[in-house]
Chains A and B, each alone.
Chain A
């Protein structure tokens, strides 16, 4: 009699266990979708008028602005070295500007940043280099500052 009761109790526990599992039922779900990244627009470097006073062997500061046409903030990671082009008989390379890495600051979306660079006139600049405006192609690299 005791054995039979034990068997019944065992079966009862198994069945109740099944019921508990049912009460805690779970389900799964799935689906698919997408998200898009934006593209980036290139910035433009512009000279700020006003720098002057170059003479052979001398260095002056000059400023450039870099715009940010993107909808997110950016930071300038580098501005290339510059070398002047030929101008009215003044040899190319008479004025140089060293590269700058990681200048401080960020440029907000749609805004413009101003950066100060250094320009040096070669010590052997000729007379043709007097009273000239020098053009130096520069390239900047930027990255998202979001």
Chain B
């Protein structure tokens, strides 16, 4: 029994999941690159975003989702959509990478969708490559 306890103590001491402060996975940030306008019904525009990796390790972004806000009650909630990330991409440690996202306006978007600025909220997931 004592031997078992010693083994347990050694294993716990070696375990790297001892506390949250050791977790190297700091959240990365996603931000716009420049201004994008020109959405029209049935059209698409490319919204470039910059992913910044604050970690001391490279990351591989595997998911990048965008939710679109509704700037006017006269423009339906589903009038504008943003495609999901086309393919995973690497972001080097303490560096940034730009990735294009495709934004679409449905062809049935009414006049209430003219000349609006649609807020975008980005969320993503990355893994250690």
Contacts and interface: CB of A to CB of B under 8 A. Distances in A.
Given A21-B17, A22-B16, A34 B43 contact: no
A38 B39 contact: yes
A143 interface: yes
B127 A24 contact: yes
Contacts of A53: none
Nearest to A32: B121
Interface string A16-36: 001101111111111111111
A26 B125 contact: yes
Given A18-B16, A27-B25, A35 B123 contact: no
Interface in B46-64: 47, 49, 51, 55, 59, 61, 64
B40 A36 contact: no
Contacts of B111: 40
Interface residues of B, number: 61
Given A36-B37, A37-B114, A146-B40, A15 B14 contact: yes
Given A27-B126, A143-B41, A19 B27 contact: no
Contacts of B25: 25-27
Interface string A72-113: 100000000000000000000000000000000000000000
Contact of A145 (B16, B32, B42, B80): B42
B100 interface: no
A11 interface: yes
B43 to A, nearest CB: 3
Contacts of A37: 37-40, 80, 105, 109, 113-118
Nearest to B6: A8
Interface string B89-129: 00000000000000101010101011111111111111110
A131 interface: no
Contact of A144 (B17, B26, B107, B118): B107
B77 interface: no
Contact of A19 (B7, B15, B61, B115): B15
Interface in A120-146: 143-146
A38 B4 CA distance: 71
A72 B40 contact: yes
A33 B32 contact: yes
Interface of B: 1, 3-4, 7-8, 11-12, 14-17, 23-32, 35-43, 45, 47, 49, 51, 55, 59, 61, 64, 80, 82, 103, 105, 107, 109, 111, 113-128
